[in-house]
Amino acid sequence: MTCKKCHIQMREEKRTFHKQRKWICPRCGAVRFQLTKKTDKK
């Protein structure tokens, strides 16, 4: 996951929010959520 503005690698937040991965840009502080894939079966 890279920041759209800075084009650098974002760091992943340890917490998950509604089965979404939270990514934070260390440069501009932008937050993005990555949807978990449906193929993720238990």
| Binding residues vs Zn ion (CB under 5 A) | 3, 5-6, 25, 27-28, 30
Q: How far is the CB of 40 from Zn ion (least distance, A)?
A: 27
SS3 24: strand
Nearer Cβ to Zn ion (5/11): 5
Nearer Cβ to Zn ion (20/31): 31
Sole residue written with tokens 């894939």? 37
Amino acid at 41: K
Q: How far is the CB of 41 from Zn ion (least distance, A)?
A: 33
Q: How far apart are CA 39 and CA 1, in angstroms?
A: 19
